[in-house]
Structure 1
Amino acid sequence: MVGGCALYSRLPISLLVIHYIYRSYYKKEQERLDLKAQEERIQESREAQQRITQMEYERLQQEMESKNRELAVSTMSMIKKNEFLNEIKKQLQSTDLDEVKPIIRKINRSLSNEDDWKFFENAFNQADQHFLKKIKKTHPDLTSNDLKICAYLRLNLSSKEIAPLLNISVKSVEVKRYRLRKKLGIQAKQSLIDYILEV
């Protein structure tokens, strides 16, 4: 009888211990599962953010490529227009008629039109946002004509392509390029275009 009472009195304590152990185990297990679920949510969030960043990067790349194409097309159309006007001007200058002089003056005004440069500069700045600001800051003594040549060289245009844009001869472009090299302090062995592209 005494042994039975002793067993009975020990039973609730052992049940309490077992209950405490199970409860402690399930609590830790639940905490582990919660932590795992939280880590999975963080990982999913991180992956979603990476996908958004990648999509944004691809969108910006496409936008940049589109702006570069627009810039190339507008530059080439300006070159062709100026070449055409220069050709007409030459033909008109070969005549001695007084009636053509006003037409030649109009052609000259069109060729030296700053609106073309403003249009180009705007398109250029959209495609290559920091170049003109950076080169102005690095070389504050550059003139507006120097900056134009820098922008055209940044597009890898040849002297022959630059000449109609500035309404000057190819030889004059070569002279301007030589003077620009001196202003920029470029060594003889370094390429002007490479320097411009690295800015």
Structure 2
Amino acid sequence: MAKPKKVKITEKAHWYSHHSEAGYTKLARLLENDIVHTWVDAQNNVVLDFMDVDLLKLLLSESGLENKQFHIIFDLNLVTDISYSYKRAITELLYHWQPFLGLVCFYNVGSQMSVIVESFAAVAPVNIRVLQADSYQDALKIVLAFKANEPLSDDNDVKDFLYNSELKRQFLGAVARMTWLNILDYPIYIPDADNEYYPFFQAIRALHSDLKAKEIEKEKEISLLKQTYEHRITQKIIKMNAQAQIGTQYIQDLEKEVAELSSRAAAQELELTRVSTAIAEKTNALGNLLDQIHALNIDSALKREMTDACMKLLDTEKIEKRLNIELTESDSFFLTKLQKKHPNLNQRELRISLLVKLNYETTEIARSIGISTRGMESIRYRMHKKLGLGKHESIKTYLSDLATAFHA
């Protein structure tokens, strides 16, 4: 091959990728119009952790090579090994970037990297050349000769893996396909039985069969796990839907109860308004009656008796009026809850319960409902039983505690 001419070099400050954890920086530049030159800048030997696909795409895009053939020169100085993910990535590069990738040439290849480079060559598609050179100048000569369709294998400083031992190529290719690419359907080449390398290829075939069987078992395990978790997820969804339905029903029941309470409260408020109006009318009537009694020319003792009777009625009406005015929304709520808890209480007993809770005296309550104090005691005795209280339990204490519980 002829000595390479002076080439055009294009460099850009952002054509690099820093690998902080691995301790190196990958740099790249463009030679001529279609040769990507890449190398590693580091203080010590490094292991390449992942391939800089984005950097390559950026360089190709900014150089107008997205849909054109390009070539790669890769300096492996300071590189002692590459990670599994890098092996997969660079192998996929050889396949997924064709037909645009033409030739890949590695140089400064150490002894530890030699087998890896040969393995890349072994698995590369037939239309992509993977070569190895000693130096940058040699690598550049190779690429320029390849572009000019000149022969590549007549120099001692060029290592063309196409001309290496076919058995070695087959062996490295089989190993790389199984380990890097996880390709288990590709047939394993087996030489003749009398070949000295026959046992090695048989071992590779056995390993290939074992890996394939293991892959099948793994797929079965994954399928079983998938079915198990899908069943669990389905059960969870069913349970969640059931809980959601219960919650919805509970909310509907609460809304219904609130509506019923609101309706009953409105009815009670209407009744209280009616009672208040009736009390006011009765009070006015009693006042008029007193005026008429005072105007009568009758026996003074009889007049006093009639006046006292009217005054007692007026006192009762005043108490009724005061009780109705003090009845709040909270009291209505208490009566509703009490009736629900003790449905055996009649309307008069419910009213007495409210007045007891509001701390009214027995005489006031008796006068309010139009009975004697003794009659009031009899009612309280019956209520004591209806409420299920013990002998020494107080109705007033029970009702107060109940009111607190209702509002908790």
Q: TM-score, normalised by structure 1?
A: 0.53
- Kindly state the Cα deviation for residue 73 of structure 1 after the two structures are TM-superposed: 1.6
Structure 1: unaligned runs, 5 residues or longer: 131-199
Q: Distance in 2 between matches of 1:34 and 1:11?
A: 35
Correspondences of 1:45-56 after superposition (within 5 Å): 45-56=246-257
Aligned counterpart in structure 2 of residue 17 of structure 1, from 212, 218, 238: 218
Q: Percent same amino acid among aligned pairs?
A: 11
Q: Distance in 2 between matches of 1:123 and 1:63?
A: 18
- Kindly state the Cα deviation for residue 35 of structure 1 after the two structures are TM-superposed: 2.2
The answer to whether the 8 A contact 2:272-2:324 is kept is no
Residue in structure 1 matched with residue 335 of structure 2 by the alignment: none
Correspondences of 1:86-165 after superposition (within 5 Å): 86-98=287-299, 99-113=302-316, 117=319, 121=323, 124-125=326-327, 127-129=329-331
Q: Distance in 1 between matches of 2:284 and 2:244?
A: 59
Could you give the per-residue CA deviations for residues 120-151 of structure 1, whole angstroms, max 9, x where no partner exists? 62795365439xxxxxxxxxxxxxxxxxxxxx
Residue in structure 2 matched with residue 26 of structure 1 by the alignment: 227
The answer to whether the 8 A contact 2:286-2:314 is kept is yes
How has the CA–CA distance of structure 1 residues 28 and 128 changed in structure 2, closer, same or farther, with 3 Å as cutoff?
closer
SS at match of 1:97: coil
How has the CA–CA distance of structure 1 residues 21 and 33 changed in structure 2, closer, same or farther, with 3 Å as cutoff?
same
Bigger Rg, which one: 2
Q: Distance in 1 between matches of 2:321 and 2:270?
A: 15
Q: Distance in 2 between matches of 1:128 and 1:119?
A: 18
* Structure with the larger RCO, 1 or 2 (CA within 8 Å, 6+ apart): 1
Could you give the per-residue CA deviations for residues 77-107 of structure 1, whole angstroms, max 9, x where no partner exists? 1111111111111122122322433212211
Q: Distance in 1 between matches of 2:326 and 2:264?
A: 14
The answer to whether the 8 A contact 2:279-2:321 is kept is no
Q: CA RMSD in A?
A: 3.1
Say which structure is richer in helix.
1
Q: Distance in 2 between matches of 1:31 and 1:90?
A: 87
- Kindly state the Cα deviation for residue 26 of structure 1 after the two structures are TM-superposed: 0.9
How many residue pairs get aligned? The number is: 128
Structure 2: unaligned runs, 5 residues or longer: 1-201, 333-408
The answer to whether the 8 A contact 2:283-2:314 is kept is yes
- Kindly state the Cα deviation for residue 22 of structure 1 after the two structures are TM-superposed: 0.7
Could you give the per-residue CA deviations for residues 153-178 of structure 1, whole angstroms, max 9, x where no partner exists? xxxxxxxxxxxxxxxxxxxxxxxxxx
Say which structure is richer in strand.
2
Give the residue type in structure 1 aligned to 2:258.
Answer: Y
The answer to whether the 8 A contact 1:92-1:100 is kept is yes
Q: Distance in 2 between matches of 1:125 and 1:78?
A: 15
Residue in structure 1 matched with residue 274 of structure 2 by the alignment: 73
Could you give the per-residue CA deviations for residues 44-83 of structure 1, whole angstroms, max 9, x where no partner exists? 1221111111011112112211221221122111111111
- Kindly state the Cα deviation for residue 29 of structure 1 after the two structures are TM-superposed: 1.3
Q: Distance in 1 between matches of 2:268 and 2:293?
A: 37
Q: Distance in 2 between matches of 1:119 and 1:89?
A: 19
Q: Distance in 2 between matches of 1:113 and 1:52?
A: 42
